[in-house]
Structure 1
Amino acid sequence: MDSGLATDAMAGSAFPWLSLIVLLPAFGALLMPLMPGDDDHPSPWPRNFALIVLFVDLLLMLLVFSTRFDPSLSGLQLVERVSWLPSIGLEWSLGADGLSAPLVVLSGLVTFLSVAASWSVQRKCKLYFALLLVQASAQGLVFLSQDFLLFFLAWELELVPVYLLIAIWGGQNRQYAATKFILYTALASLLILISGLALALSGDQFTLNLTELASRSPGGSFGLLCYLGFLVGFGVKLPMFPLHTWLPDAHGEANAPVSMLLAGVLLKMGGYALLRFNVQMLPDAHLTLAPALVILGIVNIVYGALNAFAQDNVKRRIACSSVSHMGFVLLGIGAVDALGISGAMLQMVSHGLIAAAMFFFTGVFYERTKTLSIPNMGGLAKALPITFAFFLASSLASLALPGMSGFISEITVFLGITSQEGFTSLFRAITVLLAAIGLVLTPIYLLSMCRRVFFGPRIPALASVEDMRPRELVIGMSLLVPTLVIGIWPRIAMDLYEASTDNLATDLGQRALVALIEHLPIG
């Protein structure tokens, strides 16, 4: 078995590629005040500068992960370690493996496209685009950090730009939504900090290095308590029922580009952290609580789908669908086998693209109609035929139409659950049945939304609105084409992370076997 983190940690890089990826957007944010323009004299320079910086950063990600990253290895690569604050053990420690590499590229793409979608922002432009650049750096640091305190600082840092982006550029109830977001996520962060420090202090020597923490794998009551602390802390960001209620409010008030970031990147941080901390560092506790994770995933899937029916706001309905779809991530992680964990990773990538696309197209027709109320819209298919086609395509991808990435990811999770022999046949059957209910509900609430928004009685005031512009077409294609490519050729995504997820599953399987042997009667 590949020993993963423990043996590949020295596979370093002579050039600090990962530091460059992380710090380039932050450096661009520092230069943003030098750009011309202000509120009285708006200028395209802040937006164009942010686009250039993030485009270069995205190209850098693609170059590094296509030429210097070996996806056949399960351990860390491109490792960079510099002592930062030795007095508290803080290191600037970065590294990439199959769990982080695809999500770094996803975050780079979605953040770049969210800036490209921010054409209508004319107020406080320098601050707006500087916050998006800071957010890009914080996201990359979350996925690449290999020091717990550095990870936690990045986790906290990314909350600030999102709070300000909602509070300043959001809708009518933006202050309420932004405050609710920061309260939920900040309180959850306390549990993450406490659990992480408890792990750091648990061994003979204090350490914040994630590789060394993973080698300890504490069990018993201590491991379970740390696992539960991480589960609640990361579950808020996922979001996991009943810790999800901040999400519909945040999406309902945020502008479309910020919603693209929320759905496309921030929710994936929760799933990534569960794999990195709960599964990789606390495997024994994960084996114990995996059935509970499966149950929570089922609740997410069914509750999110049912809740979507009650929403008359387009963005709130899509937000509730995100709660449902992220339930498949919990389901896959709880399956504790290679197929399930692989499906969870693919679902994060797939949902990141699809949800970002849906929120972008929602923003397109909101700019034309100035409303997100489903009862106040109708007949838009004739006025906005191209927008309708793109929104329908993203909805079909979301409901897991065969040939789209959502189908591959969700069917992989299902196969992972059904092939898990550690669960009883009854448990597997009930799990699949209840998850299938969510799959049946999804096309109903999505297609009914499409019917009410784009068909039905035509509103005369919306008869002459302009359809999608070339810039918007490019953004939409940049999100939908990858969902088609992954749906037709899933290996292009799975090859990036499969060595790491297989290694995780192998370790869990070996631990489960050892536990079974220890409990067998002797003689």
Structure 2
Amino acid sequence: MDVNMPLLAASSLGVPAAESAFPWLSLIVLLPAAVALVMPLLPGDGSDPKWPRTLALATLAIDLGLMLFCFSRHFDGSSSDLQLVERVSWVPAMGLEWSLAADGLSTPLVLLSGLVTLLSVAASWNIKTKTRLYFALMLVQASAQGLVFLSQDFLLFFLAWELELVPVYLLIAIWGGKQRQYAATKFILYTATASLLILLSGLALAFSGDSFSFNLSELASRSPGGTFGLLCYLGFLVGFGVKLPMFPLHTWLPDAHGEANAPVSMLLAGVLLKMGGYALLRFNVQMLPEVHLRLAPALIVLGIVNIVYGALNAFAQDNVKRRIACSSVSHMGFVLLGIGAVDALGISGAMLQMISHGLIAAAMFFVTGVFYERTKTLSIPNMGGLAKALPITFAFFLASSLASLALPGMSGFVSEITVFLGITANDDFTIGFRVIAIVLAAIGLVLTPVYLLSLCRRVFFGPRIPALAVVGDMRPRELFIGLTLLIPTLAIGFWPRLAIDVYEASTNALAQQLSATALIAMGRASALG
């Protein structure tokens, strides 16, 4: 049999469908940024949050409604092709196109981004300083996030990737804690340096073929290997690994979370980290499958290090948000494991873990913000006995913690068990490697309930601190935000097909592409032999 046949069968991944008759994706992406431009024109002196907050909430609610309408009516989850394609020549001299499209890899993350950003603005109810700027930055961030997930032109993707750094930097630097300048500067230094590697790798791929192109589908069709492909892969891996975050490139994250306010932490954990996982699938796996197959075991090792190191590091944190941030480092290690598994189950588990963690981490940081507003402290030793004063808040935090530690019936359990099954199902790895990988990764599963439940015990059941004895519990607005994050977590936990049906065709096609690449490599080796 011709070894090229499997590649033809798998080549449907990323193939554009007919261009969309209505620019739904452009409307979704541009609406928040367009509204942000009118923020300075709102009435008031700039300190009154009513008008900026209301406008931002209404805009993001409409934007999420557009997403739900567009994807429910015009997106076919059974196809792995690009859909809702929009292409306009933007800057012909640079080869830059306004090129947007959706597939199974991007659609669920766009919806996650729309939901988490809306709830982050709803959680920003008590912002009193520079409110116009704050909510304008939130809207710009919403546009940048959507553009990252929907771009089908590398230069457009990179511009969106850089654009989303600016609002996050300002949101931390202006509205953060006492060490906000340090945390914001560290964030921008890490991410901006990583962006240079992304740009160099993308430009190298764009110039590598017979013709210059920034189109992602065209770049994916080239699939370079050898030393050139390896260098591009490593550039993308480090560049996107900072955002994931991947050990040892993760150290900006605890500082950023520790100093950012709760709504910004919701965005960081719920959306920004997912950009790293999405980009690894889009660039490293889809564009460089041959190199990915060679380095997949290394990704599994890095994933295990993330899981175990993040869990151990969480024990050393006496700040609630820093402990949850280290937990995020650990949980994003499962994304690396799933991507490294190189089969349909593993990649599906990686996607489900990104969706699941986005909901769970956003919920945990939100509830943390709720009791910070009451207690004015995030120091674990300075808290205690809050379960009696804040029983509803405790219930929500405990539910979020149980979801994070992968309790059966919650989305975290389904995603992590799918990743484990993906590793065990891959016959390309030796039995010994699979057993060692699963045992070491399972250590993180054992440590997670220990540091999360000990956190609940110390904060809510420790020695009662008299100054915190009388504080108000969650308000209706806060209850709504918490339920909006926890209900999908439960729904996906009991019925995973709610999420899997959206992306399964794309992850299956990606796995088939990897299998085809492996067969071709075997054919070449046999011919040389």
Assess same fold via TM > 0.5. yes
Q: Which residue of 2 aligns with 1:517?
A: 523
CA distance in 1, matches of 2:231, 2:463: 56
- Correspondent of 2:469 among 463, 467, 473: 463
Q: Which residue of 2 aligns with 1:242?
A: 248
CA distance in 2, matches of 1:123, 1:323: 31
Letter in 1 for 2:495: W
Letter in 2 for 1:307: N
Q: Which residue of 2 aligns with 1:16?
A: 23
Deviations 1:245-304 (A, max 9, x none): 000000000000000000000000000000000000000010011010000000000000
- Correspondent of 2:494 among 485, 488, 493: 488
1:499 aligns with 2:505: yes
- Correspondent of 1:35 among 42, 60, 68: 42
CA distance in 2, matches of 1:145, 1:38: 37
Question: CA shift at 1:185, angstroms?
Answer: 0.1
Q: Which residue of 1 aligns with 2:428?
A: 422
1:203 aligns with 2:209: yes
- Correspondent of 2:177 among 171, 176, 187: 171
Question: CA shift at 1:4, angstroms?
Answer: 2.6
Contact 2:174–2:180, Cα closer than 8 Å, also in 1: yes
1:4 aligns with 2:12: yes
- Correspondent of 1:451 among 437, 451, 457: 457
Q: Which residue of 2 aligns with 1:150?
A: 156
Q: Which residue of 1 aligns with 2:287?
A: 281
Deviations 1:357-403 (A, max 9, x none): 00000000000000000000000000000000000000000000000
Question: CA shift at 1:462, angstroms?
Answer: 1.0
Question: CA shift at 1:519, angstroms?
Answer: 2.5
Contact 1:170–1:255, Cα closer than 8 Å, also in 2: yes
1:268 aligns with 2:274: yes
Q: Which residue of 2 aligns with 1:440?
A: 446
Letter in 2 for 1:4: S
Question: CA shift at 1:517, angstroms?
Answer: 3.4
CA distance in 2, matches of 1:510, 1:5: 12
CA distance in 1, matches of 2:43, 2:367: 30
Contact 1:38–1:125, Cα closer than 8 Å, also in 2: no
Contact 1:219–1:285, Cα closer than 8 Å, also in 2: yes
Contact 2:13–2:510, Cα closer than 8 Å, also in 1: no
Q: Which residue of 2 aligns with 1:112?
A: 118
Contact 1:235–1:243, Cα closer than 8 Å, also in 2: yes
Contact 2:10–2:513, Cα closer than 8 Å, also in 1: no
Q: What secondary structure is seen at the aligned counterpart in 2 of 1:184?
A: helix
Q: What secondary structure is seen at the aligned counterpart in 1 of 2:287?
A: coil
Give the number of equivalent residue pairs: 521
Contact 1:4–1:500, Cα closer than 8 Å, also in 2: no
Letter in 2 for 1:404: M
Q: What secondary structure is seen at the aligned counterpart in 2 of 1:78?
A: strand
Q: Which residue of 2 aligns with 1:365?
A: 371
Q: Which runs of 4+ in 1 moved over 6 A?
A: none
- Correspondent of 2:127 among 121, 135, 140: 121
Identity among equivalent positions (%) equals 81
CA distance in 2, matches of 1:189, 1:265: 18
Moved more, 8-17 or 49-58: 8-17
Q: What secondary structure is seen at the aligned counterpart in 2 of 1:280?
A: helix
- Unmatched segments (≥5 aa) in structure 1: none
Q: What secondary structure is seen at the aligned counterpart in 1 of 2:250?
A: coil
Contact 2:49–2:132, Cα closer than 8 Å, also in 1: no
1:63 aligns with 2:58: no
Q: TM (normalized to structure 1)? A: 0.99
1:54 aligns with 2:60: yes
- Correspondent of 1:408 among 414, 417, 432: 414
Contact 2:13–2:506, Cα closer than 8 Å, also in 1: no
CA distance in 2, matches of 1:344, 1:12: 29
Q: Which residue of 1 aligns with 2:340?
A: 334
Letter in 2 for 1:440: V
1:379 aligns with 2:385: yes
CA distance in 2, matches of 1:87, 1:517: 41
Give RMSD over aligned pairs: 1.0
Q: What secondary structure is seen at the aligned counterpart in 1 of 2:183?
A: helix
CA distance in 1, matches of 2:516, 2:89: 35
Contact 1:291–1:334, Cα closer than 8 Å, also in 2: yes
CA distance in 1, matches of 2:509, 2:13: 10
